[in-house]
Structure 1
Amino acid sequence: MSLLKIGVIPGDGVGPEVTEVGLAVLEKVAKRDGLAYELIPFDIGGERYIKTGDVLPQSEQDRLRACDVILLGAVGHPGVAPGVLEKGILLKLRFDFHQYINLRPVRLFPGAPCPITGKGPDDIDMVVVRENNEDLYVGAGGFTYKGTSEEVAIQTSMNTRAGVERCIRYAFEAARKRAERGDFGSLSAADKAKGYKRQVTLVAKTNVLTFAHDLWMRAFNEVAAEYPDVKPAYMHVDACCMRMVTNPEWFDVIVTTNMFGDIITDLGAVLQGGMGLAASGNLNPDKTAPSMFEPVHGSAPDIAGKGIANPLAAILSVAMMLDHVGRSESGDSVRKAVAAVLAAGSPRTPDLGGKSSTAEVGKAALAALD
């Protein structure tokens, strides 16, 4: 493979702290596995915006486009109004770079805390495929009589056949890839006897959102017919949230809309031990522009600078990045290192009930790679 160009946006709050640890893990794995890469740093985030008024200059976006992948620490600054950075950086990159899949693994590692009594690692191993370029996030809408007693606010959900179908198809392909591991997950004996290897569940609200989610349902049924080895299922979003808590083992691959995916993946993060263990990928599967990988815990300004942020989600995001560039074996070794740290019980950052620092957990992960 030629030199891998990695754009690095440490961002705000704890972002630089966890990114530093993630890059240390990447350096060790790359040296061991023969991966040649170049880090291209970017000063993008709240501090830059406060100083210059620039959120994401076109020149910086052009430089990012020239990268193969992007590693992001966090976006969000208490001195910047909500939405400025999120829309101006996260959503702009997701949309302009056609990162139309948001991939969120929900996996409980042995040793990680789970709030559900009686559930363990064998019960919580799913992946959420969230549509990432449409729905309410396109920003279609506006105000009438803003600031008056007659004010009207409209936010329009936009769903295209092409956008919906490519997301659903990605989910079915993801199910097949999971089947290749030989893990049949939570499928019943009867389902296995029918020839199913995995399951894809569409999560929507077809009984109320009878236009947008009718499109999702029809596209889902048509794509499902092309994958006779994968069991199709449907669940209303409210029922899905309940089932994730009572019977998480029921899920394998979930495919859903941008808004619903945003909500249920945070619930999934809690099931797997908290936001400090939740990694994500904003994927351009066609690789016409870089994909972006980030921990989902945000900038956490309340603990920024204290050196106690959990770096494991950033490390797991590096593993997802390695998967994306065709280095899945390297990615697996990173996940095994994280699993080893959690199974050992220490060191742990405060969010996992410990007293260790970011650096101490990072050092343990590096040692586990050996």
Structure 2
Amino acid sequence: MKKWDIAVIPGDGIGIEVTPEAIRVLDTIADIHGGISFQYKEYPWSCQYYLEHGVMMPEDGLQQLEQSDAVFLGAVGDPKLVPDHVSLWGLLVNIRRGFEQVINVRPAKQMSGIDSPLVDPKGFDFTVVRENSEGEYSEVGGRIHSGEDETVIQSAIFTRRGVTRTMDYAFELAKTRRGHVTSATKSNGLVHSMPFWDEVFQDISKNYNSIETQSIHIDALSAYLVSKPHAFDVIVASNLFGDILTDIGAAIMGSIGIAPAANINLNGKYPSMFEPVHGSAPDIVGKGIANPIGQIWTAKMMLDHLGEQEMGTLLLDSIEEVIEKGIKTPDIGGTSSTTEVTDHILNTLTLRA
């Protein structure tokens, strides 16, 4: 039997509520499969941990996580307790950078049973591949002077290695989907970084003659994700552009509460990390209405990454069946609780198997 060691960080807010629901689903998947099992080790790192210890994770935190096969994260952040830039960079970004999780992947698709805010979403189904280690989110910069002379510099860093591996990932993904890659650019405004991005995209495209390509400026592309999202398959984007586009993707699905994400390590040296997009949602903590779909769909992405694609497909099919039956939390128009939605997914998994 194959045993997968999963490092679990429920984190903050609803992360503490939805992570156990997803673990219930993973355990059911293991029972159905019969040839795999999951062993979990939970870590209490969170904003509450910060208040008690002065750090979001201990100094040897990465070493503690390193031996796991994957990191399963719930949510990070509670601005009433800890400033967002402290909590985010102290835990989530620390893990992403420390474990060389250089690719971020976020799918978005229309799901039957969820009302999209779009009048006619036309069954959109696209995935954004986001550069996850540099770009506009580099730490290069600083402040000088004060008062009227205060000056702030934030430098965007793009390397050929970083851009190339992101685009290669996007093209390889497109080969398994509908064979189309769209590059998010802004070369008419950012006169150094984005022309470079475009050049690398053109170079990489030559290695994938079977893949159709296009480059679209980020402002127009953002509008197109609202007006014609069905036209896109794989979108490759820089760190900032990808971050923005994926929130649009979550919004047009009908709720950020259902959107999953994966932070991928490509070289095999470290585990990858899987987290829903929704964040800690402190306004609904303790009400029993947090949508577990984002965390459970994230579990599906983790299964795929671990090579258990058949189980991942079974899980997503079960999620969609439950939603189509109208078993939903209030954020997507339902009346079910967090646990009730999970219970129905478990039942559907068993019946489908």
The bucket for the TM-score relative to the shorter chain is over 0.9
Partner Cα distance (1:60, 1:96) in 2: 10
Q: Point out where structure 2 has 5 or more consecutive residues left out of the alignment.
A: none
Please say if 1:331 is aligned against 2:312.
yes
Q: Name the residue aligned to 2:7.
A: 7
Q: Name the residue aligned to 1:233.
A: 214
Question: Which amino acid is the alignment partner of residue 43 of structure 2?
Answer: F
Q: Name the residue aligned to 2:245.
A: 264
Please say if 1:366 is aligned against 2:343.
no
Question: Which amino acid is the alignment partner of residue 54 of structure 1?
Answer: V
Other structure's SS at 2:149 match: coil
- Determine if contact 2:62/2:98 at 8 Å carries over to the other structure: no
Q: Name the residue aligned to 2:57.
A: 56
Stretches of 4+ moved more than 2 A in 1?
A: none
**Mapping 1:83-94, distance limit 5 Å:** 83-94=85-96
CA drift at 1:340: 0.6
Partner Cα distance (1:266, 1:340) in 2: 24
Partner Cα distance (1:207, 1:118) in 2: 31
CA drift at 1:317: 0.2
- Determine if contact 1:110/1:120 at 8 Å carries over to the other structure: no
Q: Deviations over 1:138-180 (max 9, x none)?
A: 211111124x1221111110010000000001000000011xx
Other structure's SS at 1:83 match: helix
CA drift at 1:305: 1.2
Partner Cα distance (2:31, 2:184) in 1: 41
Other structure's SS at 1:136 match: coil
Please say if 1:143 is aligned against 2:143.
yes
Q: Point out where structure 1 has 5 or more consecutive residues left out of the alignment.
A: 179-183, 185-197
Q: Name the residue aligned to 1:218.
A: 199
Partner Cα distance (2:334, 2:141) in 1: 45
Q: Deviations over 1:308-358 (max 9, x none)?
A: 100001000000000000000000011011101111012x11101222211
Q: Name the residue aligned to 2:259.
A: 278
Other structure's SS at 1:58 match: coil
Residues paired across the two proteins, number: 348
Q: Name the residue aligned to 1:192.
A: none
Q: Name the residue aligned to 1:191.
A: none
**Mapping 1:125-144, distance limit 5 Å:** 125-144=125-144
- Determine if contact 1:4/1:36 at 8 Å carries over to the other structure: yes
Partner Cα distance (1:328, 1:358) in 2: 25
Partner Cα distance (1:245, 1:79) in 2: 35
Other structure's SS at 1:172 match: helix
Other structure's SS at 1:70 match: strand
- Determine if contact 2:27/2:37 at 8 Å carries over to the other structure: no
Q: Name the residue aligned to 2:37.
A: 36
Range moving further from structure 2, 23-32 or 135-144: 135-144
Q: Name the residue aligned to 1:209.
A: 190
Partner Cα distance (1:84, 1:149) in 2: 27
Q: Name the residue aligned to 1:107.
A: 109
Other structure's SS at 2:60 match: helix
Partner Cα distance (1:130, 1:350) in 2: 30
- Determine if contact 2:173/2:234 at 8 Å carries over to the other structure: yes
- Determine if contact 1:114/1:120 at 8 Å carries over to the other structure: no
Question: Which amino acid is the alignment partner of residue 368 of structure 1?
Answer: T
Question: Which amino acid is the alignment partner of residue 167 of structure 2?
Answer: I
**Mapping 1:332-347, distance limit 5 Å:** 332-346=313-327
Other structure's SS at 2:155 match: strand
- Determine if contact 2:55/2:90 at 8 Å carries over to the other structure: no
Please say if 1:119 is aligned against 2:100.
no
Q: Deviations over 1:198-234 (max 9, x none)?
A: 1100001011112111111111001101101000100
Other structure's SS at 1:214 match: helix
Q: Name the residue aligned to 2:84.
A: 82
- Determine if contact 2:122/2:230 at 8 Å carries over to the other structure: no
Partner Cα distance (2:349, 2:38) in 1: 19
Partner Cα distance (1:30, 1:41) in 2: 19
Partner Cα distance (1:142, 1:24) in 2: 45
Partner Cα distance (1:81, 1:276) in 2: 22
Range moving further from structure 2, 270-279 or 233-242: 270-279
Other structure's SS at 2:81 match: coil
Partner Cα distance (1:165, 1:72) in 2: 27
- Determine if contact 2:29/2:311 at 8 Å carries over to the other structure: yes
Partner Cα distance (1:54, 1:90) in 2: 13
Other structure's SS at 1:208 match: coil
Range moving further from structure 2, 249-258 or 53-62: 53-62
Question: Which amino acid is the alignment partner of residue 176 of structure 1?
Answer: K
Q: Deviations over 1:184-206 (max 9, x none)?
A: 4xxxxxxxxxxxxx110000101
CA drift at 1:260: 0.5
Q: Name the residue aligned to 1:173.
A: 172
Specify which of 280, 284, 304 is matched with residue 285 of structure 2: 304
Q: Deviations over 1:279-299 (max 9, x none)?
A: 000011222101000111000
Partner Cα distance (2:151, 2:293) in 1: 43
Range moving further from structure 2, 267-276 or 160-169: 267-276
Partner Cα distance (2:59, 2:268) in 1: 20
Q: Deviations over 1:99-120 (max 9, x none)?
A: 0110000111111111110224
